Amino acid sequence: MKLKIKKLLMLLVLSLVTSGVISFFFFNTVNTGSALGFQNMDLVTVSANNQVTLNVTILSAPISGGTTVLFPSLYTKIFSPTTIFTLMIGTVVMDRRSEEKAPKLREVVQSEIDEHPGIHLRELQRNIGCAMGALQYHVKHLESSGDVISCKVGNAKHFFPSDYSSDEQVLKLSALSRNPTIRTILSEIVDQGRVTQAELSRTMSLDKSLVSYYTNNLLKADVLSVVRVFGRERPLILSEWAHSIIQRMALV
Protein backbone atom coordinates (compact mmCIF):
# COMPACT_ATOMS: atom_id res chain seq x y z
CA MET A 1 0.00 0.00 0.00
CA LYS A 2 2.79 2.46 0.93
CA LEU A 3 4.62 1.57 -2.29
CA LYS A 4 1.51 2.39 -4.34
CA ILE A 5 1.10 5.76 -2.59
CA LYS A 6 4.76 6.56 -3.19
CA LYS A 7 4.42 5.71 -6.89
CA LEU A 8 1.30 7.85 -7.17
CA LEU A 9 3.07 10.81 -5.55
CA MET A 10 6.06 10.45 -7.84
CA LEU A 11 3.72 10.25 -10.85
CA LEU A 12 1.89 13.37 -9.66
CA VAL A 13 5.15 15.28 -9.21
CA LEU A 14 6.34 14.23 -12.67
CA SER A 15 3.05 15.28 -14.26
CA LEU A 16 3.13 18.64 -12.47
CA VAL A 17 6.69 19.34 -13.57
CA THR A 18 5.88 18.31 -17.16
CA SER A 19 2.75 20.45 -17.21
CA GLY A 20 4.71 23.39 -15.83
CA VAL A 21 7.32 23.13 -18.58
CA ILE A 22 4.64 22.86 -21.28
CA SER A 23 2.77 25.81 -19.79
CA PHE A 24 5.95 27.90 -19.74
CA PHE A 25 6.67 27.38 -23.45
CA PHE A 26 3.04 27.59 -24.53
CA PHE A 27 2.02 30.69 -22.64
CA ASN A 28 5.25 32.69 -22.97
CA THR A 29 5.48 33.32 -26.73
CA VAL A 30 6.97 36.59 -27.93
CA ASN A 31 4.18 38.80 -29.17
CA THR A 32 5.29 42.41 -29.73
CA GLY A 33 2.82 45.21 -30.44
CA SER A 34 0.37 47.34 -28.55
CA ALA A 35 -2.18 46.39 -25.97
CA LEU A 36 -5.58 48.04 -25.89
CA GLY A 37 -7.49 48.70 -22.68
CA PHE A 38 -10.65 50.47 -21.59
CA GLN A 39 -10.10 53.13 -18.99
CA ASN A 40 -13.67 54.45 -18.80
CA MET A 41 -17.01 53.62 -20.41
CA ASP A 42 -20.18 55.74 -20.13
CA LEU A 43 -23.50 54.59 -21.54
CA VAL A 44 -26.06 57.38 -22.19
CA THR A 45 -29.53 56.64 -23.58
CA VAL A 46 -31.63 59.34 -25.20
CA SER A 47 -35.27 58.35 -24.96
CA ALA A 48 -36.72 61.02 -27.26
CA ASN A 49 -35.38 59.74 -30.54
CA ASN A 50 -34.10 56.34 -29.39
CA GLN A 51 -30.49 57.33 -29.85
CA VAL A 52 -27.79 55.65 -27.73
CA THR A 53 -24.50 57.36 -26.97
CA LEU A 54 -21.48 55.30 -25.77
CA ASN A 55 -18.48 57.28 -24.45
CA VAL A 56 -15.32 55.12 -24.28
CA THR A 57 -11.81 56.21 -23.31
CA ILE A 58 -9.20 53.86 -24.85
CA LEU A 59 -5.65 53.52 -23.66
CA SER A 60 -2.81 51.84 -25.57
CA ALA A 61 0.49 50.57 -24.17
CA PRO A 62 3.44 48.96 -25.93
CA ILE A 63 4.36 45.36 -25.07
CA SER A 64 7.98 44.42 -25.46
CA GLY A 65 7.37 40.66 -25.42
CA GLY A 66 5.46 37.89 -23.74
CA THR A 67 1.79 37.09 -23.53
CA THR A 68 0.23 37.42 -20.12
CA VAL A 69 -2.13 34.59 -19.22
CA LEU A 70 -4.35 34.79 -16.19
CA PHE A 71 -4.91 31.39 -14.57
CA PRO A 72 -7.64 30.61 -12.08
CA SER A 73 -6.42 30.76 -8.48
CA LEU A 74 -6.76 26.96 -7.94
CA TYR A 75 -4.66 26.25 -11.04
CA THR A 76 -1.87 28.58 -9.96
CA LYS A 77 -1.80 27.06 -6.50
CA ILE A 78 -1.49 23.54 -7.89
CA PHE A 79 1.33 24.46 -10.24
CA SER A 80 3.24 26.66 -7.84
CA PRO A 81 6.92 25.72 -7.25
CA THR A 82 6.25 25.51 -3.52
CA THR A 83 3.62 22.82 -4.04
CA ILE A 84 5.85 20.75 -6.33
CA PHE A 85 8.80 21.05 -3.93
CA THR A 86 6.58 20.03 -0.99
CA LEU A 87 5.34 16.96 -2.85
CA MET A 88 8.89 15.93 -3.73
CA ILE A 89 10.08 16.33 -0.13
CA GLY A 90 7.02 14.46 1.13
CA THR A 91 7.74 11.56 -1.21
CA VAL A 92 11.34 11.30 -0.03
CA VAL A 93 10.28 11.44 3.63
CA MET A 94 7.66 8.74 3.09
CA ASP A 95 10.23 6.57 1.33
CA ARG A 96 12.69 6.93 4.20
CA ARG A 97 10.06 6.21 6.82
CA SER A 98 8.92 3.08 5.00
CA GLU A 99 12.52 1.87 4.86
CA GLU A 100 12.95 2.50 8.58
CA LYS A 101 9.76 0.68 9.55
CA ALA A 102 10.01 -2.28 7.17
CA PRO A 103 12.77 -4.81 7.96
CA LYS A 104 15.42 -5.16 5.32
CA LEU A 105 15.07 -8.12 2.97
CA ARG A 106 18.48 -9.49 3.94
CA GLU A 107 17.42 -9.61 7.60
CA VAL A 108 14.21 -11.43 6.62
CA VAL A 109 16.21 -13.99 4.62
CA GLN A 110 18.59 -14.54 7.54
CA SER A 111 15.64 -14.97 9.93
CA GLU A 112 13.96 -17.55 7.66
CA ILE A 113 17.14 -19.60 7.38
CA ASP A 114 17.67 -19.46 11.14
CA GLU A 115 14.13 -20.71 11.76
CA HIS A 116 14.17 -23.37 9.02
CA PRO A 117 17.65 -24.93 8.73
CA GLY A 118 18.04 -26.80 5.46
CA ILE A 119 15.51 -24.71 3.58
CA HIS A 120 16.08 -24.62 -0.18
CA LEU A 121 15.92 -21.59 -2.46
CA ARG A 122 12.44 -22.13 -3.90
CA GLU A 123 10.92 -22.72 -0.48
CA LEU A 124 12.70 -19.63 0.80
CA GLN A 125 11.21 -17.59 -2.02
CA ARG A 126 7.70 -18.92 -1.33
CA ASN A 127 7.97 -18.07 2.37
CA ILE A 128 9.28 -14.55 1.83
CA GLY A 129 7.43 -13.69 -1.37
CA CYS A 130 10.16 -11.69 -3.09
CA ALA A 131 11.75 -11.72 -6.54
CA MET A 132 14.19 -14.57 -7.15
CA GLY A 133 16.91 -12.20 -8.38
CA ALA A 134 16.79 -10.14 -5.20
CA LEU A 135 16.72 -13.29 -3.06
CA GLN A 136 19.77 -14.78 -4.80
CA TYR A 137 21.64 -11.50 -4.37
CA HIS A 138 21.05 -11.39 -0.61
CA VAL A 139 21.72 -15.12 -0.08
CA LYS A 140 25.00 -14.78 -1.95
CA HIS A 141 25.96 -11.82 0.24
CA LEU A 142 25.08 -13.77 3.42
CA GLU A 143 27.22 -16.69 2.26
CA SER A 144 30.14 -14.41 1.42
CA SER A 145 29.97 -12.78 4.85
CA GLY A 146 29.86 -16.18 6.58
CA ASP A 147 26.42 -15.68 8.12
CA VAL A 148 24.96 -18.57 6.10
CA ILE A 149 26.34 -21.90 4.86
CA SER A 150 24.91 -24.09 2.11
CA CYS A 151 24.82 -27.70 1.00
CA LYS A 152 23.81 -28.98 -2.43
CA VAL A 153 21.70 -32.13 -2.55
CA GLY A 154 20.83 -33.21 -6.08
CA ASN A 155 19.87 -30.10 -8.03
CA ALA A 156 18.72 -28.13 -4.98
CA LYS A 157 20.82 -25.90 -2.78
CA HIS A 158 19.94 -25.84 0.91
CA PHE A 159 20.87 -23.14 3.42
CA PHE A 160 21.72 -23.27 7.12
CA PRO A 161 22.78 -20.85 9.86
CA SER A 162 26.56 -20.62 10.07
CA ASP A 163 26.62 -22.28 13.50
CA TYR A 164 24.36 -25.22 12.54
CA SER A 165 27.07 -27.80 11.80
CA SER A 166 30.37 -28.15 10.00
CA ASP A 167 29.70 -31.81 9.16
CA GLU A 168 28.72 -32.27 5.51
CA GLN A 169 26.74 -35.43 6.31
CA VAL A 170 24.69 -33.60 8.94
CA LEU A 171 23.85 -30.85 6.46
CA LYS A 172 22.93 -33.35 3.77
CA LEU A 173 20.67 -35.44 6.01
CA SER A 174 19.01 -32.36 7.50
CA ALA A 175 18.31 -31.05 4.00
CA LEU A 176 16.83 -34.38 2.89
CA SER A 177 14.64 -34.73 5.96
CA ARG A 178 12.84 -31.47 5.15
CA ASN A 179 10.97 -33.38 2.46
CA PRO A 180 7.78 -34.77 4.11
CA THR A 181 7.88 -38.07 2.18
CA ILE A 182 11.54 -38.70 2.99
CA ARG A 183 10.95 -37.78 6.61
CA THR A 184 8.12 -40.36 6.80
CA ILE A 185 10.32 -43.04 5.21
CA LEU A 186 13.10 -42.37 7.70
CA SER A 187 10.62 -42.39 10.56
CA GLU A 188 9.22 -45.77 9.48
CA ILE A 189 12.69 -47.27 9.25
CA VAL A 190 13.65 -45.87 12.67
CA ASP A 191 10.50 -47.42 14.19
CA GLN A 192 10.67 -50.76 12.38
CA GLY A 193 14.42 -51.23 12.13
CA ARG A 194 14.13 -52.52 8.58
CA VAL A 195 11.40 -52.26 5.96
CA THR A 196 10.93 -53.16 2.32
CA GLN A 197 9.72 -50.82 -0.40
CA ALA A 198 6.50 -52.80 -0.64
CA GLU A 199 5.87 -52.33 3.08
CA LEU A 200 6.56 -48.59 2.80
CA SER A 201 4.16 -48.37 -0.14
CA ARG A 202 1.35 -50.01 1.87
CA THR A 203 2.02 -48.08 5.07
CA MET A 204 2.30 -44.68 3.39
CA SER A 205 -0.38 -45.35 0.75
CA LEU A 206 2.02 -44.32 -1.99
CA ASP A 207 2.65 -45.79 -5.41
CA LYS A 208 5.62 -48.19 -5.49
CA SER A 209 7.34 -46.15 -8.21
CA LEU A 210 7.26 -43.04 -5.99
CA VAL A 211 8.60 -44.98 -3.01
CA SER A 212 11.32 -46.40 -5.23
CA TYR A 213 12.29 -42.91 -6.40
CA TYR A 214 12.81 -41.59 -2.87
CA THR A 215 14.51 -44.67 -1.50
CA ASN A 216 16.93 -44.75 -4.43
CA ASN A 217 17.88 -41.14 -3.69
CA LEU A 218 18.50 -42.08 -0.05
CA LEU A 219 20.61 -45.05 -1.15
CA LYS A 220 22.72 -42.80 -3.41
CA ALA A 221 23.23 -40.40 -0.51
CA ASP A 222 24.36 -43.37 1.65
CA VAL A 223 21.56 -42.65 4.12
CA LEU A 224 20.05 -46.11 3.59
CA SER A 225 21.65 -49.49 3.04
CA VAL A 226 20.22 -52.68 1.58
CA VAL A 227 20.21 -55.86 3.65
CA ARG A 228 21.29 -58.80 1.57
CA VAL A 229 18.78 -61.59 2.15
CA PHE A 230 17.27 -64.35 0.06
CA GLY A 231 14.15 -63.40 -1.77
CA ARG A 232 12.92 -60.74 -4.15
CA GLU A 233 12.33 -57.96 -1.62
CA ARG A 234 15.41 -56.62 0.11
CA PRO A 235 14.86 -54.72 3.36
CA LEU A 236 16.22 -51.22 3.85
CA ILE A 237 18.05 -50.07 6.96
CA LEU A 238 19.61 -46.82 8.09
CA SER A 239 23.34 -46.36 7.72
CA GLU A 240 25.12 -46.10 11.04
CA TRP A 241 26.08 -42.45 10.57
CA ALA A 242 22.52 -41.54 9.50
CA HIS A 243 20.96 -43.35 12.47
CA SER A 244 23.34 -41.56 14.84
CA ILE A 245 22.58 -38.11 13.41
CA ILE A 246 18.82 -38.68 13.41
CA GLN A 247 18.88 -39.68 17.03
CA ARG A 248 21.19 -36.87 18.09
CA MET A 249 19.41 -34.08 16.22
CA ALA A 250 15.87 -35.47 16.40
CA LEU A 251 15.34 -35.03 12.68
CA VAL A 252 12.28 -37.32 12.57
- Second CATH level (architecture) for the domain 170-249: Orthogonal Bundle (1.10)
Structure confidence at residue 252 (pLDDT)? 80
Structure confidence at residue 88 (pLDDT)? 53
Nearest Cα residue to 127 out of 110, 140, 143, 148: 110
Structure confidence at residue 5 (pLDDT)? 59
How many Å separate Cα 158 from the centre of its chain? 22
153-114-140 Cα angle (round to 5):
60
> 116-154 pLDDT, tens per residue?
999 999 999 999 999 999 999 999 999 999 999 999 988
pTM: 0.57
Fold that domain 105-164 belongs to in CATH? Arc Repressor Mutant, subunit A (1.10.10)
89 in Cβ contact with 13 (< 8 Å): no
Structure confidence at residue 154 (pLDDT)? 84
Structure confidence at residue 20 (pLDDT)? 57
Structure confidence at residue 250 (pLDDT)? 86
**Sites in the chain below the pLDDT cut of 50:** 2, 24-47, 50-54, 56-72, 74-78, 87, 92-93, 98, 101-102
